[in-house]
C-alpha cells in the first residue's frame, strides 16, 4: 500500500475516534444531590418556592397516555399556525396549511432541522402538530381506535409533539427517520414510541412521532434507553440525581405536590420546573 493511502486510513481512523463520543450522549449519573469539591450543593443558600397544584399539569415533561389525560392547563399557550410564520419553517415543508405547534417547540425543531441539513439530510416534512380536543375527536371518530387516540389522550393535544415525515419515502426507511432516531436527543426531542417499547407505551412503533422533553432529559433517556413512562418512574424512585451530560452538569429532583407544597430552589442558578401530569413536579437545575 502506498504511504499516502496508509496515512489517509490513519487520518480517517483518528477522525472516527474523535467523532465517536459525540454520536451518543456521554452521561454520568450520581444518585443524591450534587456536591462540589467543598461538599456544598449548587449554592450555600436555598429559597423556598411555593408550588401550586396546577403546576403538576404544566411543563415539558408531562406524561400523556391512557392513564394520564391532557388537562386544559397543560396545553402550551404559544400555539401558532406554522404556515403563517415563514421564519419557523425554513428547511422543511408543511403538508397542509393548518398545522399548528408551540412557537417555542417550533424554534427547537427548526434548529434541529438546520443541523440535519448541514449533514445533507434535508427532505423533512411536518404532517401533523398540535390538535385541539375537537379536531382530535373528529380524527378519532373517522379513523377509529386502531389509528387514533380519543380527545385528551393524545400528545398532539399538548403542543409538544409533531409527526415528521420524509418527502423521499416512508419515515421508517428514510435517511430523515434514521437521523431523527440518532440525533433528536441533542435538541431536546425523543422518539416517543420506539419499536422496542410497545409493551410499555401501549402504542405501536411510530418512527414519525417525536416529542419535546427538553435537555438534559432527552440525553438521559437516550443513554439509558428509557421512554417517558420509564423516565418519570425512574425520577420518582431516585428522587434526586445529578447528571453530567457531555461535560455539563445538571441536578434533577422529583417532589410530590399536595395543596401546600414548597420546594427548595437555588437563587444563583437557572432552573426549570415541570409537572409530571400525575402527582408531582420535576426540578432541573443547570450548572451555568
Final residue before a domain boundary, out of 178, 212, 246: 212
208 shares a domain with 70? yes
Q: 69 and 201: one domain?
A: yes
Q: Are residues 252 and 283 in the same domain?
A: yes
Where b means 16+ CB within 10 Å and e means fewer, 97-130 reads eebbbbbbbbebbbebbeebeeeebbbbbbbbbb
Which residues form the catalytic set?
A: 206
Task: Count how many domains the chain has.
Answer: 2
* Pick from 185, 192, 217, 184: nearest CA to 116: 184
Pairing mode, if any, of strands 124-128 and 79-81?
Answer: unpaired
The reply to whether 110 and 47 lie within a common domain is no
Report the residue count for the chain: 288
Residue 111 lies in a domain: yes
pLDDT for position 44: 56
What was the pLDDT predicted at 45? Answer: 74
Task: Kindly state whether residues 161 and 273 are assigned to the same domain.
Answer: no
Q: For the chain, how big is the Rg over CA atoms in Å?
A: 21
Q: What is the pLDDT along the chain (288 residues), one digit of tens a residue?
A: 444 443 433 343 433 333 333 568 889 998 877 665 555 565 557 899 999 999 999 999 999 999 999 999 999 999 999 999 999 999 999 999 999 999 999 999 999 999 999 999 999 999 999 999 999 999 899 888 877 899 999 999 999 999 999 999 999 999 999 999 999 999 999 999 999 999 999 999 999 999 999 999 999 999 999 999 999 999 999 999 999 998 899 999 999 999 889 999 998 899 999 999 999 999 999 986
- Among 194, 212, 230, where does a domain finish? 212
Task: Kindly report the CATH number assigned to the domain that includes residue 188.
Answer: 3.30.1380.10
Q: In which domain, by residue range, is 150 found?
A: 65-212
Last residue of one domain, picked from the residues 167, 195, 212: 212
Q: 69 with 153, same domain?
A: yes
Domain annotation covers residue 7: no
* CATH code at position 57: 3.30.200.180
**Residue 272 maps to a domain:** yes
Considering the domain architecture, whether residues 179 and 87 belong to the same structural domain is answered as yes
Is 18 a member of any domain? no
Q: Which of 255, 285, 259, 257 is nearest to 270 (CA)?
A: 285
Q: Are residues 131 and 165 in the same domain?
A: yes
Amino acid at each position: 500500500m502506498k504511504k499516502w493511502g496508509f496515512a489517509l486510513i490513519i487520518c480517517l481512523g483518528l477522525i472516527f475516534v474523535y467523532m465517536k463520543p459525540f454520536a451518543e450522549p456521554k452521561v454520568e449519573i450520581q444518585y443524591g444531590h450534587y456536591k462540589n469539591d467543598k461538599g456544598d450543593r449548587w449554592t450555600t443558600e436555598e429559597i423556598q418556592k411555593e408550588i401550586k397544584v396546577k403546576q403538576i399539569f404544566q411543563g415539558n415533561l408531562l406524561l400523556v397516555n391512557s392513564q394520564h389525560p391532557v388537562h386544559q392547563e397543560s396545553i402550551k399557550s404559544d400555539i401558532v399556525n406554522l404556515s403563517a410564520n415563514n421564519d419557523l419553517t425554513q428547511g422543511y415543508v408543511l403538508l397542509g396549511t393548518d398545522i399548528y405547534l408551540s412557537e417555542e417547540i417550533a424554534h427547537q425543531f427548526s434548529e434541529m432541522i438546520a443541523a440535519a441539513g448541514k449533514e445533507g439530510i434535508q427532505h423533512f416534512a411536518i404532517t401533523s402538530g398540535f390538535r385541539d380536543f375537537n379536531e382530535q375527536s373528529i380524527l378519532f371518530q373517522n379513523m377509529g381506535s386502531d389509528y387514533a387516540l380519543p380527545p385528551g389522550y393524545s400528545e398532539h393535544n399538548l403542543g409538544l409533539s409533531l409527526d415528521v415525515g420524509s418527502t423521499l419515502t416512508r419515515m421508517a426507511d428514510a435517511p430523515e427517520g434514521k437521523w431523527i432516531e440518532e440525533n433528536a436527543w441533542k435538541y431536546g426531542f425523543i422518539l416517543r414510541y420506539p419499536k422496542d417499547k410497545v409493551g410499555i407505551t401501549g402504542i405501536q412503533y411510530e418512527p414519525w412521532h417525536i416529542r419535546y422533553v427538553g435537555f438534559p432529559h432527552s440525553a438521559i433517556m437516550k443513554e439509558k434507553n428509557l421512554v417517558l413512562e420509564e423516565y418519570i418512574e425512574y425520577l420518582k424512585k431516585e428522587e434526586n440525581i445529578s447528571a453530567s451530560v457531555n461535560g455539563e452538569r445538571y441536578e434533577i429532583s422529583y417532589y410530590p405536590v399536595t395543596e401546600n407544597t414548597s420546594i427548595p430552589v437555588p437563587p444563583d442558578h437557572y432552573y426549570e420546573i415541570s409537572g409530571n401530569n400525575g402527582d408531582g413536579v420535576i426540578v432541573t437545575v443547570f450548572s451555568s
